[in-house]
Amino acid sequence: MDSIDVLIVEDEVGIAELHAQFLRQTMRFRPVGIASTLSMARTMIKVNKPKLIILDNYLPDGLGVDLLREIVAEKSGHKADVILVTAASEMDTVKEAMHCGCFDYLLKPVAYDRLKDTLNRYLKYNSAINAYDNISQRHVDDLFNIQAREKCSETLPKGIGELTLDKIKQVFNENTGVKFTAESLGDRVGISKTTARRYLEYCSASGFLSAENEHGRVGRPERVYVKTN
């Protein structure tokens, strides 16, 4: 099967490299370049002709959503699909991205479990598009269901928010094998020890983390949490 070429448009070098490293670990996606400005992105789109663009919204020379509009307005030549990434949960930007046919919209810091879900849906979406020359209403419905996420986000219990949960999962994904306590995780994410413990127990119960009691030098055993794979 052919690889899907991906252009990363991100002005923070460390984040761009993390995206590229994540893509290299997949079977079907291949990073073909990193652009730190809209100007660079326009040039690299013409040269590399990526099928998919992971596009940061805030760039030194403008907004990524402006490039998204340009891609949609292009009457001829290459058209890429776009995953828009931004640090601000601005509803107007979300609406614009949806209006322009953006495949997905992710908030920073990107949770790589969430990005993996997006990429898996993108593969299924492309396979469905390429499967038929003439399609029925059912096929059209399937395409829209795939793009809109095949399944809704898991129903979270009271006291567990999706954004905070994504941040916590990202910490563990970036620190596989590292043990965290409620206190150390709270310091890392910027939440209280009590809140951190609530999220840690939820992640442990759902199988994302394993938990164990460790005996410290003094005092009672301390509960630690780790993601091992």
The larger pLDDT score, comparing residue 153 to residue 46, is at 46
Is 31 in contact with 60 (CB distance < 8 Å)?
no
Say whether pLDDT at 46 is over 70.
yes
Q: How many CB atoms lie within 10 A of CB 70?
A: 14
Amino acid 56: pLDDT: 95
Higher pLDDT, 155 or 2: 2
Check residues 8 and 27 and name the one with the higher pLDDT: 8
Q: Which CATH number fits domain 4-147: 3.40.50.2300, 3.40.190.10, 3.60.15.10, 3.90.950.10?
A: 3.40.50.2300
The predicted pLDDT at position 162 comes to 80
Structure tokens at 200: 């840690």
- Write the pLDDT tens digit of every residue in 77-113: 678 999 999 876 677 888 888 888 899 988 888 888 8
pLDDT at 151: 45
- For residue 19, how many other CB atoms are within 10 A of its CB? 22
Res 136 pLDDT > 80: no
pLDDT at 152: 42
Instruction: Identify the band that residue 131 occupies on the pLDDT scale cut at 50, 70 and 90.
Output: low
Q: How far is CA 184 from CA 6, 178, 190, 193, in A?
A: 36, 11, 10, 8
User: For all residues of the chain together, what is the average pLDDT?
Assistant: 84
pTM above 0.75, yes or no: no
Which tens digit of pLDDT belongs to each residue from 161-197? Answer: 887 888 898 899 888 899 999 999 999 999 999 999 9
CATH number, span 162-226: 1.10.10.10
For 52-73, how does the pLDDT look when each residue is reduced to its tens digit (9 = 90+)?
Answer: 999 999 999 999 999 999 999 8
| 97 vs 44, residue with greater confidence | 44
pLDDT interval class at 7 (50, 70, 90): very high
Res 155: pLDDT:
63
Check residue 48 and give its pLDDT.
94
Instruction: Evaluate whether 86 touches 57 at the Cβ level (below 8 Å).
Output: yes
What residue ranges do the domains of the chain occupy?
Answer: 4-147, 162-226
